[in-house]
Amino acid sequence: MQETDVLKLKTIHPFEFITLRVLERWDCERRKNGMWGCWREGEESGTLWVDFSAIPLAGNIGKSEAMRLAAIRTGNFELLFGMGSDDDRHIWRYAEETEEKGEEITLFRWHLYMVFPSALVIVHYSLVFLTSMVEERLVRMIIGQMEEQISNTEVRLDINAIRRLGHMQEDDTIASRIRRD
């Protein structure tokens, strides 16, 4: 198979209000755990997991206040140092190695922070590969391509979609599903 065939992209819409381009060869669906997963059965082409969190913002607070709130709520104080250049979005990236089902895996993680007037939406991504494959040329190309696509994710604040997905509290404020990494 040609590298160009493996790297072809398609557009998906996880959670209705997120638009992301992923590998065309991946099958993508919302899983029972609530996250979106993308992978190719029987092939080690990586697995991408997508989830989101939402934090209500009272009044018209600014970006720096929203990021301080996110840092406090998530315990991730690295958010307060040198993040992104766009006014309404930040991306926090990191990688970690762990073990799953007796195999060493590497998780490449991105958290895209989007500040809206009434909410901070955080889209969580985990791209998973066997650690033994991470230095392969094609895997490095997939990681680079997904980095670019994640950076270009489109997110629109859709309170109705968030409510339908079970992220609304009784008092009609956005509920938080914050990950503590």
What does the pLDDT read at residue 164? 72
Please count the structural domains in the chain: 1
Quick check: is 174 in a domain? no
pLDDT tens figures, 5-16:
678 999 999 998
pLDDT in tens, 24-45: 999 999 998 889 999 998 777 7
pLDDT at position 166? 61
**Side-by-side strand order, sheet with 103-115:** 27-30, 36-39, 47-56, 119-130, 103-115, 89-100
- Position 110 confidence tier, pLDDT thresholds 50, 70, 90: very high
The pLDDT of 135-143, averaged and rounded, is 93
Instruction: Write the pLDDT tens digit of every residue in 150-162.
Output: 999 999 888 777 7
User: Are the C-beta atoms of 123 and 146 separated by less than 8 Å?
Assistant: no
Whether 117 maps to a domain, the answer reads yes
Q: Which residues contact 131 (CB under 8 A, 6 or more apart)?
A: 97, 104, 105, 106
In a domain, 176, yes or no: no
Residue holding tokens 């993308």?
38
Which CATH number goes with the domain that contains 19? 3.40.1000.10
Q: Is residue 180 part of a domain?
A: no
Please report whether residue 109 resides in a domain. yes
State percent of the chain over pLDDT 70: 82
Tell whether 25 is covered by a domain. Answer: yes
Q: Which domain holds residue 96?
A: 3-164
Asked, for residue 124, whether it belongs to a domain, the answer is yes
Which residue, among 164, 171, 129, 169, has the nearest Cα to 34 in the 3D structure? 164
Residue pLDDT, tens place only, 69-97: 877 877 777 766 654 444 567 888 889 99
Q: Count Cβ atoms within 10 A of the Cβ of residue 91 and give its class: 0-12 exposed, 13-18 middle, 19 or more buried.
A: middle
Residue 177 lies in a domain: no
